[in-house]
Amino acid sequence: MATRYYTVGWEQLHRDAKALAWRLMEKGPFKGVVAITRGGLMPAAIIARELECRVIETVSVITYDEETRGEPRVAKPPSAAGDGTGWLLVDDLVDTGTTAKVVRAMLPGAHFATIYAKPAGKPLVDSFVTEVSQDTWILFPWDTEPQFIPPLAKGAAAK
């Protein structure tokens, strides 16, 4: 299965995070937001603003090195969130569920929300906005720079 790339710009990320905040309005109020770093930082900031939540905690689980997956390692636990009860846990994406499983075990009482969800990880989150295929690699705005990309038809013609 070939990897597909889907580029998300800042404006789309903001719209999608705000759409997630709309879905979360009825689930709150929350004691605080726990951002899964690093990808969950920007969505968590947008969502915390929209929900008027001023308490933000982080949890750092290292799983990826660019496109290479490794064994998850907790670099920083979310100490202020206890078992997560009453807290909102936010990430940009749930992919295979590797990170989600680790964080769910630390914060079983939290409401887990992601902007994007792939089929393998989708059952681990409580709320999400958009489902993408398992073979899609999302290029977030903090990982990319604007540049020319040939039309899809030109890439297909080369095969």
Query: Which residues does the annotation mark as catalytic?
Result: 91-92, 95
Cis peptide bond N-terminal to 104, omega within 30:
no
Describe the chain by its helix, strand, coil percentages, rounded to 5: 35, 35, 35
Query: H-helix or E-strand containing 105?
Result: helix 98-106
d(CA 139, CA 92): 11
Beta strands 56-65 and 68-76, pairing class: antiparallel
CB 73 within 8 A of CB 106: no
**48: phi then psi, degrees, rounded to nearest 5:** -60, -40
